[in-house]
Amino acid sequence: MLKNEWCKWPLRAYLGLIVCLLICGTARQVDAGSQEASKDYLKAGERDVQKWRDMKFGLFIHWGPVSLKGTEIGWSRGGERRGRTGTGQIPAEEYDNLYKQFNPVKFDAEQWVQIAKDAGMKYLVFTSKHHDGFSMFYSKLTDYKITNSPFKRDVVKELADACHKAGLKLGFYYSPVDWYHPDYRTQNHARYIEFLHGQLREICSNYGKIDIIWFDGLGGTAEDWDSENLFKIIRQLQPGVIINNRAGLPGDHDTPEQRIGRFQNDRPWETCMTICRQWAWKPNDQLKSLKQCIDTLVKVVGGDGNFLFNVGPMPTGEIEPRQVTRLKEMGAWLKKYGQSIYDTRGGPFKPGIWGASTHKGNIIYIQILNWSGEQLTLPPIPKKIIASSVLTGGTATVRQTEEAIEISVPEAYRQELDTIIKIELDGPASEIAPLSVTSSSLTYHKKVRASNVYQNNPQHGPDKAVDDDPATRWATDYGIKQVWLEVDLGKAMTFNRVRISEAYDRVQEFELQYNDSTQWKTFVTGTKIGSDYSRRFEPVTAQQVRLNILDSTDGPTIWEFQLLPPKK
Ligand code: H79
């Protein structure tokens, strides 16, 4: 029967069909070939990346039903974490049912967007789904979603609309890790990948223009998420989108978390950091000072990165007023001095205790965050300074010699937050290779030992506490409560100030000691250190100095341990 039917076709039709198949086949091959060869979908276009870099400052928002508990999003969920050890403090059955009570009636997307804008932020990234698997958007692929909560509203949609209306660029965080989905990292993981791709298709189809997709795959590989195809889907639906490096592929940018990234101007990066200590809302969580906020922004941008600063809104749907106030303060500062941040690039002077620098065209902005004397001495540059002024007000003396650039600012014009000197060169600042600034700290690059180093890993060695690099730290093993760091200054030196920067706020009691060649003598005692400890004392002259940590909630970690000479 079939054969007969075929036979009835005229010869011309056969030929037509064959030609057609040939053309299509060839076309498809060429297409696939060029895609294979160029793999365009792996990277965003250069112009889109530059536009994203110019924005510098964005708002990260971590929110979900877990805010009812005040515990960490995702991580506080009990139950197993398939493929990962550890568990959270809220039983999975309880955590997974929180959404049934989630009714944040005071949620107002336009208000959140206004808060971001008032902070001087140019983009917003929102958790569409965290590791806990809860979808903050309407999805056809799951029932575990915001539209099935008493609140019913699609939060992602309202945020997207508000961003579009206000001209704020928009991104979505999405966790490929999912401790809720029944197929995740089981023998049916292929079905999970289908779900994951389907959800990204929904996000990229249903909410208009999206500028950023922010994955958080906890070290999963490109195979774990079939990321090449995932990227293809996303870039087809959202041309111009920027994708980060956390789906097993390099993507468009690196993402140092809860730390200032190291100076890097050959690949884009973005520091993400919390305004308090937790990603999701926690009552009475410790809020960063304005000084810390500005310091971080300036050092990140000065290291050539972007800064994605996180808030965790409350279960009511509001962002905590004290956090809003802090963001407003940053916005007020940026309104005055934003020309030294937006549209700039980091360097040429690398960030350190002294501050950081940014540049644009023939202009360099010297951002002095900490004064250690009358004068700041920067290394020489192969360009001529033709003009200088103080952006933050007042006057300064800028002296350029073959050996150095010396900047002095009268005390009255030294700002507590940041003193910005604008210098104009006779050519583009981008032509100057990045330069390290010799630290004014007496411990800088001195011989140092410690009684413990995290996993004996040299990447966390004690030298990292005396390198004046805000991106590296000395770390110690979990469970360590007492530990010391000893610096040999090379010869007896006089100092009367100490600055210590600690990660995770673990130290509970410490002392500073010097060795008078017979024994250790204590000259400072303290309890907590925290991220920004500074103290003056009667001048001490010694060659050997020790930070002796007497009690700590866990293995202490020190970004910097610096001793400063008396101001001349
Ligand atoms: O979404 C935010 C975090 O939830 C997520 N990435 C940012 C953007 C993140 N994934 N992994 N990590 C953070 C690092 C894991 C840290 C942990 Fe812990 C240490 C998990 C368990 C111990 C932090 C501290 C979370 C719970 C306690």
Per-residue pLDDT of the chain (568 residues), as tens digits, is 333 333 334 445 444 444 444 444 443 443 444 445 578 999 999 999 999 999 999 999 999 999 999 999 999 999 999 989 999 999 999 999 999 999 999 999 999 999 999 999 999 999 999 999 999 999 999 999 999 999 999 999 999 999 999 999 999 999 999 999 999 999 999 999 999 999 999 999 999 999 999 999 999 999 999 999 999 999 999 999 999 999 999 999 999 999 999 999 999 999 999 999 999 999 999 999 999 999 999 999 999 999 999 999 999 999 999 999 999 999 999 999 999 999 999 999 999 989 999 999 999 999 999 987 779 999 999 999 999 999 999 999 999 999 999 999 999 999 999 999 999 999 999 999 999 998 889 999 999 999 999 999 999 999 999 998 888 999 999 999 999 999 999 999 999 999 999 998 999 999 999 998 889 999 999 999 988 899 999 999 999 999 999 999 999 999 999 999 997 6
Does the CB atom of residue 132 touch ligand 1 within 6 A? no
E strands, 328-396, in order = 345-346, 355-360, 363-368, 375-378, 385-390
For residues 565 and 536, the answer to whether their CB atoms sit within 8 Å is: no
Atom of ligand 1 nearest to the CA of 255: 8
Å from CA of 55 to ligand 1 middle? 26
The pLDDT value recorded for residue 538 is: 96
- CB of residue 467 inside a 6 A radius of ligand 1: no
- Amino acid of residue 91: P
Q: Tell me how far the alpha carbon of residue 178 lies from the centroid of ligand 1, in angstroms.
A: 14
For the CA of 216, the closest atom of ligand 1 is 6
Q: Give me ligand 1 centre to Cα 131, in Å.
A: 10
In sequence order, the β-bridge partners of residue 512 are 524, 547
Question: 74 CB less than 6 Å from ligand 1?
Answer: yes
Within 13 A of 263's CA, how many CA atoms are on the CB side?
21
DSSP 129: E
Measured distance CA(184)–CA(82) in Å, rounded: 8
Helix (H) or strand (E) holding 27: helix 11-38
Q: How far is the CA of 72 from the centre of ligand 1 (A)?
A: 8
CA-to-CA distance for 414 and 140, rounded, in angstroms? 57
Q: Is 175 helix (H, G, I), strand (E, B) or coil?
A: coil
pLDDT of residue 568: 63
> Distance between CA 471 and CA 559 in Å, rounded?
8
SS3 content of the chain, % helix, strand, coil (to 5): 30, 30, 45
**Residue closest by Cα to atom 25 of ligand 1:** 75
Asked if residue 562 lies in contact with residue 468, where contact means CB atoms within 8 angstroms, the answer is: yes
Sign of the dihedral defined by the CA atoms of residues 177, 182, 187, 189, in that order: negative
Could you tell me if the CB of 270 is within 6 A of ligand 1? no
Question: Separation of 13 CA from ligand 1 center, angstroms?
Answer: 63
Q: How far is the CA of 40 from the centre of ligand 1 (A)?
A: 32
CA of residue 171 to ligand 1 center, whole Å: 20
Q: Which atom of ligand 1 is nearest to the CA of 214?
A: 8
**Amino acid identity at 375:** Q
- Ligand 1 pocket test, pick from 69, 71, 75, 272 with the greatest ligand atom count within 8 Å of Cβ, gives 75
Rg (CA), the chain: 28
- Hunting for tokens 């009511």 — which residue is that? 316
Asked if 356 and 302 count as a contact pair (C-beta separation under 8 A), the reply is: yes
- Two tokens, residue 379: 């290394």
